Amino acid sequence: MSLVVPVSAADHAQGPADAAVTLVEYGDYQCPYCGAAYHVIKKVQQRLGKQLRFVFRNFPLNQAHPQAELAAESAEAAAAQGRFWEMHDALYENQGQLGQPLIEALVGRLGLDAEQFAADLQTRKFQSHVRHDFMGGVRSGVNGTPGFFINGERHDGSWEEGPLLAALLKAAGR
């Protein structure tokens, strides 16, 4: 399967737009496999540096993970204040405590405008963004998390560090 929704400026991305390889993850902040993949991606980013662009898209599996939607909307609310990646990392690094108390603590820790953040969550301002990410994943054949695409093609292989790095290097032409 191929990525149906192309990577655009609307995505959350780390690394140069002209990187040799783009890795897109459809992830769920409460998924234990995504939590494990988070650490793998950090290592792969260190190894590949500017050769890699990493894109994260929301894919909350609400039935299995009751805090996933709140976490995804919280990451988007932080993004509106220019702090997506800090919230993204903090949610994964504190995955065992996901919920309203953690998110309130992170708002303070990240120096976000708490009033704006609370208003954004209360009005579900970013629900449609999260839903758009999710539906793009569904249309691209994502049926679980983490769902990875390398240069637009679904990666069905292992996402452990060695195999993922090898797949990324191959896609980068190395």
> Model confidence at 14, in pLDDT bands (50, 70, 90)?
very high
Does pLDDT of 174 surpass 90? Answer: no
Query: Strand 52-58 vs strand 21-27: parallel, antiparallel, or unpaired?
Result: parallel
Taking the domains of the chain in order of start, what are their residue ranges? 12-171
CATH for 12-171? 3.40.30.10
Helix 100-109 with 84-93: angle, nearest 10 deg? 130
Does pLDDT of 41 surpass 90? Answer: yes
pLDDT digits (tens, 9 = 90+) for 57-89: 999 999 999 999 999 999 999 999 999 999 999
Amino acid 66: pLDDT: 95
Does pLDDT of 159 surpass 90? Answer: yes
CA–CA separation, 124 and 75 (whole Å): 12
> Model confidence at 1, in pLDDT bands (50, 70, 90)?
confident
Q: What is the mean pLDDT of residues 46-54?
A: 97
Q: What is the mean pLDDT of residues 91-95?
A: 97
Cβ(50)–Cβ(70) under 8 Å? Answer: no
Amino acid 9: pLDDT: 92
> 6: cis peptide before it, omega within 30°?
no
Strands of the sheet containing 21-27, edge to edge, are 12-14, 52-58, 21-27, 147-150, 153-155
Does pLDDT of 117 surpass 80? Answer: yes
The rounded mean pLDDT for the chain is 97
To the nearest whole percent, how much of the chain has pLDDT over 70?
99
Say what the pTM is.
0.96
16, 107, 117, 129, 156 from 81: Cα distances, Å: 21, 11, 9, 15, 34
* CA neighbor of 27 nearest in space, from 14, 37, 18: 37
Cβ(24)–Cβ(3) under 8 Å? Answer: yes
